Amino acid sequence: MRPCVSASISAADMLKALYVGIYRDLLLAMRRPADVLTAVAFFVIVVSLFPLGVGPEAALLRTIAPGVIWVAALLASMLSLPRMFAADHVDGTLEQMLLSAAPLSAIVLAKVIAHWIVSGLPLVIISPVLAIQFDLPAEALIALVLSLLIGTPVMSFIGAIGAALTLGLRAAGVLLSLLVLPLYVPVLILGTGAVDMAGSGMSAQAHFLLIGALLVLAAAFAPWATAAALRISSE
């Protein structure tokens, strides 16, 4: 009976650490609203520039819409990646996290979830409004929102690994981009492909299943990989 009790306590401790970590990071993000607004403003500006530059041709706008919106969301989500662990590293909070009784992977998972809520979820919410500029049909709009809803967390998980590996380095932003961008390519291809398939009247279920599989793999392995990278970076 004792092993079951300890296991339940361990699970409760992990859930508590997860809740506290998410609440803390969201509270800090609310105190720095400029960081959130910067990513959203970048996303809006980049997406809105393409219809102005390409022209009003509806067929061309519908063709480029999935790639434009997905690339803009990818770049916007990367803006906040360097700040995921930087503040905790500077003020010494990261060292306390490494020494904490709570598993570091649970703390990392909380930070990734908070990062997605702050930087990814607003992009998902505002994407249908921006997609109207490209004259996307209703089926493509639904596929766009669903693909971003599943795909942006994958980018947060992958970005956390890169942010941990480049923590404290000079020109960390450039190195982070070089590490993370190639790993974003599968999500980008599947996300844009799902919107294209839905816009053509075909089923995008296979694309959604593949993005979901990537999300499951990222959620299962990225927190442990990020925790190991944080230990290496803090030495």
Percentage of residues in the chain having pLDDT higher than 70:
94
Query: H or E stretch including 81?
Result: none
Which pLDDT score, from 0 to 100, does residue 6 have? 38
Q: Which residue has 């908070």 as its token pair?
A: 114
pLDDT tens for residues 89-140? 777 777 888 877 777 888 899 999 999 999 899 999 999 999 888 888 889 9
Distance CA 219, CA 122 (A): 20
pLDDT given at position 151: 94
Write down the pLDDT at residue 7: 42
Kindly give the interhelix angle for 33-54 and 2-31, rounded to the nearest 10 degrees.
Answer: 70
The region of weakest confidence among 1-10, 82-91, 155-164, 173-182 is 1-10
Q: pLDDT grade, residue 10 (50/70/90)?
A: low
DSSP letter string over 173-220? HHHHHHHHHHHHHHHHHHHHHHHHHHHTTS--HHHHHHHHHHHHHHHH
139-148 in b/e form (b: 16+ CB < 10 A) is: bbbebbbbbb
Give 56-74 pLDDT, tens digit per residue. Answer: 788 888 889 999 999 999 9
Distance CA 159, CA 108 (A): 12
Confidence of residue 4 (pLDDT cuts 50, 70, 90): very low
Domain locations in the chain as residue ranges: 2-234
pTM of model > 0.85: yes
Per-residue pLDDT, averaged over 43-66, amounts to 87
The pLDDT value recorded for residue 135 is: 84
Contact between residue 110 and residue 21 where contact means Cβ atoms under 8 Å apart: yes
Q: Are 57 and 149 in contact (CB under 8 A)?
A: no
> Three-state DSSP class for 65?
helix
